[in-house]
Structure 1
Amino acid sequence: MIKIDSELGPTDAVDIDLYFKKKYSDSGFYLFLSATKKEHQCTFLLQSSDDKLAKLYNICIKLHAGAYNILSLCQEQVRIMNRISETETDWITEPLWFVCHQMIQYCSTDTAQLENCGRLIHRSFNLCLNDRNPVLSSNRKSGSYSLANLEFIIYHKLKNRDMMKNLVKVLQSRNMDIIMDQPSNKEKNSIKVGHMVRYYYYLGEYYGCFESDFNKASTFLSIALLHCNFNYKTHIAKILVLLVPFVIVSRKMYPNEKVLTQLLSATGQYGEKLFKFIIQLVYCLKSGDIHGYDKFVSSNEVFLLKNGIYVAMCHIRELVFLKFFKTCTKMIGNNKTIVPLSSIAEVYGNYSQRKKKIRRLINMKSKKDTKIPIDITSLENKEMNENMDELECLLANLINKGFIKGYLSHSNRCIVLSKNDAFPHLSSSL
């Protein structure tokens, strides 16, 4: 957000014509564009005969007077600014973003209002994106990044995934979804770091939460985290809640607890909850506590769905199961390469507890109806076979992905592991 300094005195006059003549903006110009009711007696002067500037001036004066129809005036202000921007250079991109952002702030959750605001902002976005000015120092294209952020905000409020997808397609067509490793001097000067952090965050969120492209999402979110101001703890927490699971899935890396403590310090209740969440996630990943992980996911289901990381957590379960399986093979001992699935199934399915449950249910049923014969052994064998079928599916996926070297023997109900490096090294700490 642009900070407006109230350094103007009550008798100061702001010459609006001067900004358009010299092609620049400052706190005085943003004060003129602001929709908040003015308590000072500052005078804004306009001598130009340009119809568009005259309309903009009249709208701003009405906003300063505290008009009741603020949203409609803000929308009209954006329309006029769009028309003015058609003939202006890159200096206009920040004021254009300012009025668009201001319009969103006064917009309610009404779908029709949001869609109307979205169309106006998309018009502003296209004005910047399609600027054909060959002089890079005057081209408005740099403003399309910040305006794309506002479109993402609108589409999130509308919960419209299709509109986000269409926006990303436009960005892809202009190669704007590529990380700028060495931006030009023009880009460095004109694209504010804050806008780029938000831009990369939204792209990372889109690719990770909607497209399940966790590798691409991790790249964007990593850049967003590296450039995010360390004092903006809330922003860091929002990036981490997506980045941590995406990096675990795509790069098999988990955060160091010490680094995590530094990043999430002084982030309030949300940061504390996130810290505990990540620590528990890393514990399950390192220990292979598959039953604990399932309970952990179940208890945090609402949080996972709300943040769009439920699918990523399902992928992480594979890695937790891999650690669980490695631990089980070590417990069997003797460096066996042939591992019977029955021995793993008993632990994986918590077989002893489920066996007791089956017996309890049978005893309860037999007391009610003693005439029906019940084969306990058959039921227990069925339970064991179901566990081994599930194990075979999980192990087949891990073998296919290269996490385990070996093959399954369905007829013998076992897995044959490679003698050399049956479990390639995958995970590491950041």
Structure 2
Amino acid sequence: MAYLSMGEAHRRITDYLSRFSDAVSSQDASALSVLFGVSSNSAFLQALADALRVLQDSDRLVERYSQLAEILSPLLRCLQSYGLGRYTDAYVALEKAANAFLQEFRNWETAWAMESMQTVALEIRLLAEKADRELSSSGKNPEKLQGAGSFLMKVFGALAGKGPKRAGALYVACQLFKVYFKLGTVHLCRSVIRSIETARIFDFEEFPVKDKVTYMYYTGRLEVYNENFLVADQKLTYALMHCCPEREDNKRMILKYLIPVKLSIGILPKQWLLQKYNLVEYSEVVTALRKGDIRLLRNALREHEDRFLRSGVFLVLEKLELQVYQRLIKKIYLLQKQKDPSKAHQVKLESIVKALRWLEMDMDIDEVECIMAILIHKNLTKGYIAHKNKVVVLSKQDPFPKLNGKPVSS
């Protein structure tokens, strides 16, 4: 940092305080939002942080803005600590400033400060994440993100009533989802979802498109975890179709969950799609489904296990084994049909065992019989097992029903 005189430091701090006061008095939400952008790395705020390091007694300058002092004093401390890389101290100060601002926001009858409130909601989450990383690295309990979640619930409560402020509720709900997913407390999303989807005061279509996309993405992920694949398909497809065309990174995030959902209901993506969005970890999974290659599926799951586990889709992909077995039996059936159409519908269990051994899958007839029983029970195969002859007798009409966009029956 270049030398900074006390006079220049005084001027920078006074300028910030004046801008903040003017933005509130003129109800300029955009100007106010910039002043709350702690993590924005704007040149103006970085210069202010330098000034706060030089002029330690900034509270004396805040005194003339007595009505805003409870917001400004801790906000300046936050900016100073953030500039020094002390993120835990910065978070503690920001939370104090944010609570004071929320109190003022509640008192204002109109929603003029909505953009600013949303900036505060974003900053409180981002700074909590930085603070928790700092606490973890020093061997302390990372607790700030949990505190951010509590604050965001208060903000959500302030927006969830009647009136124009409710338009900002979905944005804050999405910030809450990000906190809950990060903490691994996704069950807490349910109360927020109920508030949005059952309250008569909310008309979902009136929310901004970007907030609706984010909301559908997170609620779609929740439905994936709950194995409600049809609902997950609807929500994630909505998110993909309404996502900004230029935001390919966001589309990739959505597809990372939508692709396993589509696979689970029998819809296979094209390879060009996987390559375009750098989702090649799904390539061998898709190929395994097309070929009926159980070995390839298991190898793909083993190779990308860490990635799939982190995404929470490993169990979804693991359950694709039944579809792979169905494709394998179908290939055997089609080969028999070419040789002897009159006996195509009678598939010996031993033939399936041989096919699996060719794929280096060592299974005996009893194991194969069990798999066939499951396929028939799940309606992936129509027919019955002639136990005495060790033969699967397939239906002569539609022996391998397609899922047609429906999940495998439980």
TM tier relative to shorter chain: 0.7 to 0.9
Match of 1:258 in 2: 272
- From 223, 239, 243, the equivalent of 1:224 is 239
Which letter does structure 2 place at the counterpart of 1:386?
A: D
- From 117, 120, 132, the equivalent of 1:96 is 117
Q: Please state whether the residue corresponding to 1:339 is helix, strand or coil.
A: strand
Work out whether residues 214 and 239 of structure 2, in 8 Å CA contact, stay in contact via their aligned partners in 1. yes
Aligned residues: 359
Q: Hey, what's the Cα distance between the residues in 1 that align with 2:46 and 2:230?
A: 49
Match of 2:159 in 1: 128
- From 396, 406, 410, the equivalent of 2:387 is 410
- 1:341 paired with 2:345, answer no
Structure 1 residues 292 and 38 mapped into 2: Cα distance closer, same or farther (>3 Å)?
A: closer
Q: 1:198-217 to 2 correspondence within 5 Å? A: 198-208=214-224, 210-217=225-232
Which letter does structure 2 place at the counterpart of 1:416?
A: V
Work out whether residues 345 and 391 of structure 1, in 8 Å CA contact, stay in contact via their aligned partners in 2. no
Q: How far 1:23 sits from its partner (Å)?
A: 4.1
Q: Hey, what's the Cα distance between the residues in 2 that align with 1:427 and 1:207?
A: 19
Q: Hey, what's the Cα distance between the residues in 2 that align with 1:419 and 1:393?
A: 18
Q: How far 1:425 sits from its partner (Å)?
A: 4.0
Q: Hey, what's the Cα distance between the residues in 2 that align with 1:394 and 1:314?
A: 15
Q: How far 1:325 sits from its partner (Å)?
A: 0.9
Q: How far 1:303 sits from its partner (Å)?
A: 1.5
Q: Hey, what's the Cα distance between the residues in 1 that align with 2:400 and 2:63?
A: 74
Query: Residues 216-258 of structure 1, C-alpha deviation per residue, up to 9 Å, x if partnerless?
Result: 11211112122223333322222111111101213x2122233
Q: How far 1:33 sits from its partner (Å)?
A: 2.0
- 1:293 paired with 2:297, answer yes
Q: How far 1:203 sits from its partner (Å)?
A: 0.8
Q: Hey, what's the Cα distance between the residues in 1 that align with 2:120 and 2:179?
A: 15
Q: How far 1:318 sits from its partner (Å)?
A: 1.8
Q: How far 1:45 sits from its partner (Å)?
A: 9.7
Q: Hey, what's the Cα distance between the residues in 2 that align with 1:301 and 1:65?
A: 43
Match of 2:373 in 1: 393
Q: How far 1:292 sits from its partner (Å)?
A: 1.3
Q: Hey, what's the Cα distance between the residues in 2 that align with 1:327 and 1:217?
A: 31
Q: Please state whether the residue corresponding to 2:320 is helix, strand or coil.
A: helix
Work out whether residues 376 and 382 of structure 2, in 8 Å CA contact, stay in contact via their aligned partners in 1. no
Work out whether residues 38 and 65 of structure 1, in 8 Å CA contact, stay in contact via their aligned partners in 2. no
Work out whether residues 346 and 384 of structure 1, in 8 Å CA contact, stay in contact via their aligned partners in 2. no
TM-score (norm 1): 0.73
Work out whether residues 78 and 91 of structure 2, in 8 Å CA contact, stay in contact via their aligned partners in 1. no
Q: Hey, what's the Cα distance between the residues in 2 that align with 1:96 and 1:384?
A: 64
Match of 2:42 in 1: none
Q: Which moved more, 1:225-234 or 1:313-322?
A: 225-234
Structure 1 residues 90 and 318 mapped into 2: Cα distance closer, same or farther (>3 Å)?
A: farther
Match of 1:364 in 2: none
Work out whether residues 159 and 169 of structure 2, in 8 Å CA contact, stay in contact via their aligned partners in 1. yes
- 1:60 paired with 2:75, answer yes
Match of 1:29 in 2: 32
Match of 1:140 in 2: 165
- 1:161 paired with 2:186, answer yes
Query: Residues 130-151 of structure 1, C-alpha deviation per residue, up to 9 Å, x if partnerless?
Result: x223xxxxx2112111111111
Work out whether residues 405 and 422 of structure 1, in 8 Å CA contact, stay in contact via their aligned partners in 2. yes
Work out whether residues 174 and 211 of structure 2, in 8 Å CA contact, stay in contact via their aligned partners in 1. yes
Q: Please state whether the residue corresponding to 1:106 is helix, strand or coil.
A: helix
Q: Please state whether the residue corresponding to 2:393 is helix, strand or coil.
A: strand
Q: How far 1:349 sits from its partner (Å)?
A: 4.9
Work out whether residues 376 and 383 of structure 2, in 8 Å CA contact, stay in contact via their aligned partners in 1. no
Match of 2:143 in 1: 112
Q: Which moved more, 1:336-345 or 1:63-72?
A: 63-72
Match of 1:365 in 2: none
Query: Structure 1 regions of 5+ residues with no counterpart?
Result: 1-8, 134-138, 265-270, 355-382
- From 94, 99, 103, the equivalent of 1:79 is 99
Q: Hey, what's the Cα distance between the residues in 2 that align with 1:351 and 1:316?
A: 17
Q: Hey, what's the Cα distance between the residues in 2 that align with 1:338 and 1:222?
A: 40
Which letter does structure 1 place at the counterpart of 2:153?
A: H
Work out whether residues 337 and 419 of structure 1, in 8 Å CA contact, stay in contact via their aligned partners in 2. yes
Structure 1 residues 293 and 65 mapped into 2: Cα distance closer, same or farther (>3 Å)?
A: closer
After superposition, the CA RMSD in angstroms is 3.3
Q: How far 1:297 sits from its partner (Å)?
A: 1.4
Work out whether residues 15 and 46 of structure 1, in 8 Å CA contact, stay in contact via their aligned partners in 2. no
Work out whether residues 340 and 414 of structure 1, in 8 Å CA contact, stay in contact via their aligned partners in 2. yes
Q: Hey, what's the Cα distance between the residues in 1 that align with 2:296 and 2:211?
A: 40
Q: Please state whether the residue corresponding to 1:240 is helix, strand or coil.
A: helix
Structure 1 residues 144 and 288 mapped into 2: Cα distance closer, same or farther (>3 Å)?
A: same
Q: Hey, what's the Cα distance between the residues in 2 that align with 1:352 and 1:98?
A: 57
Structure 1 residues 46 and 156 mapped into 2: Cα distance closer, same or farther (>3 Å)?
A: same
| Identical-residue share of aligned pairs (%) | 18
Structure that is richer in helix per residue: 2
Q: Hey, what's the Cα distance between the residues in 2 that align with 1:33 and 1:120?
A: 16
